[in-house]
Each structure stands twice: as structure tokens, then as C-alpha cells.
A and B are shown apart, each in its own frame.
Chain A
């Protein structure tokens, strides 16, 4: 089955700085890569996604890049704010079944 690795497991940044979270996947058949944000005690919520036919996608302060050849994808958050503090999960999807990374706990220090 698919194996998704995510790094780092924890990340602290100063408010206003950028944060980058990286994921790798093993199965070249994966064709959809969503990112979820989970605030404390809440459900994971989709923040951005990318499909395998696209290399980069941006939505305001967040962006995702995908390198299919290397089988890795990354989440970039610019101008971080305290409300960005949460656990972020990447996922790789085959046939609409998601395999999640192990999560990154992001702390934005005011």
C-alpha cells in the first residue's frame, strides 16, 4: 500500500516568517494530494489540494508544490499568524482512499 512520510513532526516559527512542511509518498499511482489542518480538539479540515497533473497551486498565504518524479510535495505558509498554529497533515490518494502523513505540529510564536 501507499506510504506517506511527513517532516518535520514539530515546527516553531516567529509570526510573519514562512513555514514549510514536506511529504514523500511511495506509490506512483497516487494522483491527488490534499493538506488538512487540525486545530486542537477539532476535526481535520481541507485547506488546499493538488492533483497529479499540476506542479503548483496557491491560495492566498498557502501554496503547495508537487514533484511527481521525486514523489514529494510540500506545503508553504507565508506571513504566518498565530491562528495558523495547528497540526497539519498531508495525504496521498489512490482511488479516493487517503493515506495520511504523521502530522506536523506548527506553532507560530507571536
Chain B
């Protein structure tokens, strides 16, 4: 069983569209994250979220919004997609008080 799963794996869409990426973890972790990895391979945190607190990286445009229906899911909604949003987006999870992240397999988003 995949510990952290993301869907879709690939997403190609036109500028201006709104899209969502889903993430689910079955590890019982209480904190989930979204990272963006650009073409230069930089991994930048976008959001971290547990049932107590949402921490937003202030450099993330407000077109991006996380939605968590429960502690096992953290979805990423993106409005009005732009060319610069093209990247690989990784979901990750961890357990507070324990060390280490588990990453999902990534979603390659291409905006055309």
C-alpha cells in the first residue's frame, strides 16, 4: 500500500483554468505538506497543515489554497493557472514529535 498517494500523476491544462491535486496518507500522520519543485529541482515549501494550524509560505500566491477534509487528506486547489505554475508538486506527511517526512510520488503540472 502506498503510504502517501497523489493524484493525478500528470496534469496538463491551459492557462486560466482551475485545477486540484489530491493527496492522501494512510500513515496516521497528523501533519501534511505541499512542496513545489521547479525545473531547477528546488524544493520549496508551500503549506504545512495539521488539525490545529495552517502555515502558509508568504511567497505562495493566494491562487493556491489547501483544503483538508480530514487529517488523512490535504488537497491543493489552484485558481487561474499561469505558465509559471508548471512544476512538480509533492505532498508529504509527518507525525508531530517524530522525525522524518514521507513524500508522495509527485504530480507533474504543465500549464500551456
Contacts and interface: CB of A to CB of B under 8 A. Distances in A.
Interface in B33-87: 33, 35, 40-45, 48, 55
Contact of B45 (A44, A89, A97, A103): A97
The number of chain A residues touching the other chain, given as a range, is: 20 to 34
Contacts of A42: 105-106
A87 B103 contact: no
A96 B94 contact: yes
B41 A87 contact: yes
A94 B12 CA distance: 35
A44 B41 CA distance: 11
Contacts of A38: 41
Contacts of A96: 31, 94, 96-97, 99
Nearest to A100: B43
Nearest to A89: B43
A43 B45 contact: no
A99 B105 contact: no
A103 B40 CA distance: 9
Nearest to B55: A97
A43 B103 contact: yes
A103 B105 contact: no
Contact of B99 (A93, A97, A102): A93
A103 B90 contact: no
Given A96-B31, A98-B101, A103 B43 contact: yes
Interface in A64-99: 87, 89, 93, 96-99
B103 A44 contact: yes
B51 to A, nearest CB: 14
A109 interface: no
Residue among B44, B48, B97, B100 with the highest chain A CB neighbour number at 10 A: B100
A100 B42 CA distance: 8
